[in-house]
Amino acid sequence: MMETPSALEMLLRAVFAVLGAGALGWERERYGKPAGLRTQMMVGLGAAVFTMVSLRLYLDSLHGPASAHFDLLRTIAGIVGGIGFLGAGTIIQARGSVKGITTASTIWVVGAFGIACGLGYYFLAGVNLVLALVILVAFGRLERQFLRRSVAGEPSPEELPAETDEGPPERSG
């Protein structure tokens, strides 16, 4: 049977959630994405703390009457739903294109990371973090270098005129 984590263990889980989420947030921040360092850290911390509180309630309910049992999965489902709402807020549709889906999915992955940290599943959380960073960094570079240039008629990001404070650049054509 699972034991209630000590105060030191809960602190470790929260700190690991913040640091790992911060690594993902830093990557988003570097590219000026809407949900950067602090946002990702807050999502990771929140998911970990909600999970730890729920775990504590669940473990405490095991010693009470059967009618008092607490459903940890409902809390996790609530966290996932709430994070989905945050992610939806980062997705923007403008001029016929959709932006922010990668940032929204990063928020979702940070939530999963926070839940894993809150449950004390450090190995799973670490694998999640490493894979997410590989996807964002390595595959992001590949995407910028090869895929976006292969779209017919689309200029590469380097070929686009810079935006000014007055708004988007005028295009001739």
R_g over Cα of the chain: 20
Res 17: pLDDT: 98
Res 63: pLDDT: 78
**Rounded CA separation 101/128 (Å):** 18
Res 154: pLDDT: 56
Res 3: pLDDT: 84
> Smallest Cα–Cα separation from 83: which of 125, 59, 112?
112
Res 165: pLDDT: 55
Tokens 């709430």, residue located: 82
List pLDDT tens digits, range 98-148: 888 999 999 999 999 999 999 999 999 999 999 999 999 999 888 888 876
List pLDDT tens digits, range 38-73: 999 999 999 999 999 999 988 888 877 766 677 888
| Burial of residue 157 (number of CB atoms within 10 Å: 0-12, 13-18, 19+) | exposed
Structure token pair of residue 124: 């799973």
**Rounded CA separation 101/55 (Å):** 31
Residue that wins the pLDDT comparison between 33 and 108? 108
pLDDT at residue 170 greater than cutoff 60: no
Structure token pair of residue 46: 């929140």
In terms of pTM, does the model score above 0.85?
A: no
Three-state SS for 155? Answer: coil
Residue that wins the pLDDT comparison between 66 and 1? 66
